[in-house]
Structure 1
Amino acid sequence: MNTIVSTRNLTKRYGSACRVDQVNLTVYEGDVYGFLGPNGAGKSTTLKMLLGLAKPTGGQVIVFGKEFEKNRRSILSQTGSLIESPSYYGHLTGLENMRVVQRLRNVPDRNVFEALRIVRLENHKDKKAGQYSLGMKQRLGIAMALLAFPRLLILDEPTNGLDPAGIGEIRELIRSLPQRFGMTVLLSSHMLAEIEQVATSVGIISDGKLLFQGGMDQLRNRSEAHIAIKTQDNETAERLLLGQGYSPVANGDYLTLKGLGDPQIAEANRTLIRAGIDVIRIEERQKSLESIFLELTGRERSL
């Protein structure tokens, strides 16, 4: 797979505070890469450095196989972005704002109307942007980022201000971009559910450090599925299973067992029944992505 974005020990300090600490991102062509972390984790700062909006204290940014600092203009000509909040002229209409960006990006009229249609602003294009709702302003910012139909699209919290229906629409749009337009998408979010539903790859950052990077399947595989068994007499059941070579662990009203296949679970159940121990419930449990996140960060902090 072609690498679209990579960073090498990317670092950003503000005085004595290290906001981004030797981050090594890898975003492959056709990915929807979810950059996940709590507010203040360093997501926006990292994305700003990818776009030349903040100068790294150390490290290197490589986009499309080229060092950013030496190829800034050609890289940015193939990149669209929305960072933190949309920029617009409030006294101009949505269409007029798009025309301003059209001149800067030197793209045809059809791009303007297609981008407005994609974010469902075509019926509001003649309304002044200053009168837009927060969600409409966010849609306008996304339309501006899409205007040149870039190879790389960078979106910072793209569903901010959107209602549930709007969030669903933008989610579907982002998922479709690689196949429809050949785009690679890098988006940040502090919402686990958002990343889980849209991303093919994920990077988890906290306190400026990249704690995990890989495919969504790799993250889910860390969930460590286990079996929970509730019996009429857990103490006796635990001793019996230990004697049969199992490794049950008492956990509240349940005994938990890891690494068992279906035949082993069935045999454990038969063992308990033959011993006259009533089995009340057998459940398969997995850690949620939120639990995995909290384990990775080593703290219980809200996303």
Structure 2
Amino acid sequence: MKEIVSTYNLSKLYGDAYSVKDLSLSVGEGEIYGFLGPNGAGKTTTLKMILGLTKPTDGVVTVFGKELGKNRQFILNRTGSLIESPSYYGHLTGLENMRVVQRLRDLPDRNVEEVLRIVRLEKHKDKKVDGYSLGMKQRLGIAMALVSFPTLLILDEPTNGLDPAGMGEIRELIKSLPQRYEMTVLISSHLLSEIEQIATSVGIINNGMMLFQGKLEDLTKEKHTAIAIKTRDNVLARELLVKAGYSPVLNMDFLTFEKLTDEQVAQVNKILVTGNIDVLRIEERKKNLESIFLELTGREGSL
């Protein structure tokens, strides 16, 4: 797969502390890459370095196969972004704000009309932005990032300030972009459920360092499926299984096992039945992205 964004050993040092350290990131063409981590993990700093808004202490940024330092204007002409919070003129209307971006980027009227419709602001385009709700301002920022229909779209926490219905609409919009407009999307978030629903690849960052990078399905299936067994006597069941070479963990009303094959599950069941221990339930438990994130970072899910 062709790489649209890549970084190599990217680092940013503030004083004597690293905000980002030796981060190597790879975003393939047509992907929705979920850049996931708790607040303060280094996500926004990384995105700013990719856009040339912050100068790296060390490392290389390549976008569209070209090094950022030597090709910044070429890269930015093909990139749309929303970083941290939307920038706008509050005394102007939504449409007037869009016209400013339109003139700066020399875009046709139809682009403005389409993105206002996409983000559901067409009925509010003549209202001053100072009178917009937080969610409307966020949608205006997304419209500004989309108006050139860029090859690469970078969104930093794009669902901030949106109600559940608005979050769902933006989520569906982002999911449609690669196929509908041939865009590659790099989206950061601390909302694990959002990334789980839209991303094709993920990068998990904490304390400025990449903990995992790869396809979402690889993350969710790799050593993250557990078998839970409930018996009438879990303590005795555990003793029998430990003697047979298994390592179950007593968790609430269940014994849980990591990485059991189908054959091993059948063997465990046979050991219990032979030992006159009633097996009440056998469950396969696939951990969601939030559970995996907690394991990797040791922090709570949505922070």
1:153-172 counterparts in 2 under 5 A?
153-172=153-172
* Range moving further from structure 2, 8-17 or 29-38: 8-17
Task: Please state how far the C-alpha of 1:272 moved relative to its aligned partner.
Answer: 2.9
Letter in structure 1 aligned against 2:93: T
Q: Distance in 2 between matches of 1:149 and 1:226?
A: 43
Letter in structure 1 aligned against 2:15: G
1:44-193 counterparts in 2 under 5 A?
44-193=44-193
Query: Partner residue of 1:285?
Result: 285
Say whether residues 1:247 and 2:246 are aligned partners: yes
Letter in structure 2 aligned against 1:2: K
Matched residue SS, 2:222:
helix
Q: Distance in 1 between matches of 2:212 and 2:249?
A: 30
- The answer on whether the counterparts of 1:222 and 1:292 sit within 8 Å (CA) in structure 2 is no
The TM-score with structure 1 as length reference comes to 0.94
* Range moving further from structure 2, 285-294 or 74-83: 285-294
RMSD: 1.8
Deviations along 1:160-185, one digit per CA (max 9) or x if unpaired, are: 10000000000000000000000000
Task: Please state how far the C-alpha of 1:130 moved relative to its aligned partner.
Answer: 1.1
* Range moving further from structure 2, 271-280 or 216-225: 271-280
Structure 2 runs not aligned, ≥5 long? none
- For the structure 1 residues 113 and 250, does the alpha-carbon distance in structure 2 shift closer, same or farther, using more than 3 Å as the test? closer
Task: Please state how far the C-alpha of 1:226 moved relative to its aligned partner.
Answer: 2.3
- The answer on whether the counterparts of 2:234 and 2:250 sit within 8 Å (CA) in structure 1 is no
- For the structure 1 residues 58 and 134, does the alpha-carbon distance in structure 2 shift closer, same or farther, using more than 3 Å as the test? same
Letter in structure 2 aligned against 1:278: D
Matched residue SS, 1:218:
helix
Deviations along 1:102-137, one digit per CA (max 9) or x if unpaired, are: 011111110010111110111111111111110000
Deviations along 1:28-71, one digit per CA (max 9) or x if unpaired, are: 00010011111111111111111111111111110000011111
Count of aligned residue pairs for this structure pair: 302
Say whether residues 1:210 and 2:206 are aligned partners: no
Q: Distance in 1 between matches of 2:201 and 2:89?
A: 35
Q: Distance in 2 between matches of 1:18 and 1:38?
A: 16
Task: Please state how far the C-alpha of 1:270 moved relative to its aligned partner.
Answer: 4.2
Matched residue SS, 1:257:
strand
- The answer on whether the counterparts of 2:249 and 2:257 sit within 8 Å (CA) in structure 1 is no
Q: Distance in 1 between matches of 2:245 and 2:289?
A: 28
Q: Distance in 1 between matches of 2:111 and 2:136?
A: 19
Matched residue SS, 1:186:
strand
Deviations along 1:137-168, one digit per CA (max 9) or x if unpaired, are: 00000000001000000000000100000000
Task: Please state how far the C-alpha of 1:300 moved relative to its aligned partner.
Answer: 5.2
Letter in structure 2 aligned against 1:65: G
Structure 1 runs not aligned, ≥5 long? none
Letter in structure 2 aligned against 1:18: Y
Query: Partner residue of 2:228?
Result: 228
Q: Distance in 2 between matches of 1:184 and 1:262?
A: 39
Task: Please state how far the C-alpha of 1:96 moved relative to its aligned partner.
Answer: 0.6
Identity percentage of aligned residues: 68
The TM-score with structure 2 as length reference comes to 0.94
Matched residue SS, 1:296:
helix
